[in-house]
């Protein structure tokens, strides 16, 4: 069974600081996703990482993937209040039926950035 673990689950930080969210997964997968979710809203795609060593950056967010360690990180640089949200990592898995590429999500990291 594919398991995805994120830590921390809750993070309160000040504006201007840097921090990293970690995502570990239990079995080999060829895709790692990061999503953002605001309260009461749907999921917004941030990054899709496909290969070992992949690094993607958008604004103050940077995601990386180490498939050998089964680890992805989401790094926040010089945090601003607008980045307050819940961040999920997800991994594509194989389910009964065989053909689906449904995602297995972590529990999410609830991020609060205080002025």
Q: Pick one of 36, 43, 57, 61: the residue that binds another protein (CB under 8 A).
A: 43
Q: Could you tell me which of 34, 10, 30 has the C-alpha nearest to residue 105?
A: 34
Shortest Cβ distance from residue 115 to another protein (Å)?
Answer: 25
Distance between CA atoms of 94 and 71, rounded to whole angstroms? 19
> Does 79 interact with another protein (rule: CB under 8 A)?
no
* Shorter beta-carbon distance to another protein: residue 17 or 41: 41
* Shorter beta-carbon distance to another protein: residue 48 or 80: 48
Q: Pick one of 41, 55, 57, 58: the residue that binds another protein (CB under 8 A).
A: 41
Structure tokens at 96: 């009964």
Question: By the criterion CB under 8 A, which residues form the site for another protein?
Answer: 4, 31, 33, 35, 41-45, 48, 50, 88, 90, 93-108
């Amino acid at each position: 069974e594919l398991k995805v673990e994120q830590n921390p689950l809750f993070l309160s930080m000040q504006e201007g600081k840097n921090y990293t969210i970690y995502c570990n997964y239990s079995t080999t997968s060829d895709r790692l996703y990061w999503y953002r979710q605001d309260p009461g809203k749907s999921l917004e795609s941030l990054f899709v990482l496909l290969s070992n060593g992949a690094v993607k950056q958008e604004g103050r967010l940077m995601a990386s993937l180490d498939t050998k360690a089964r680890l992805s990180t989401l790094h926040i640089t010089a945090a601003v209040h607008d980045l307050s949200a819940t961040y999920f990592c997800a991994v594509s898995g194989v389910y009964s039926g065989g053909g689906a590429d449904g995602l297995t999500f972590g529990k999410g990291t609830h991020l609060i950035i205080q002025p």
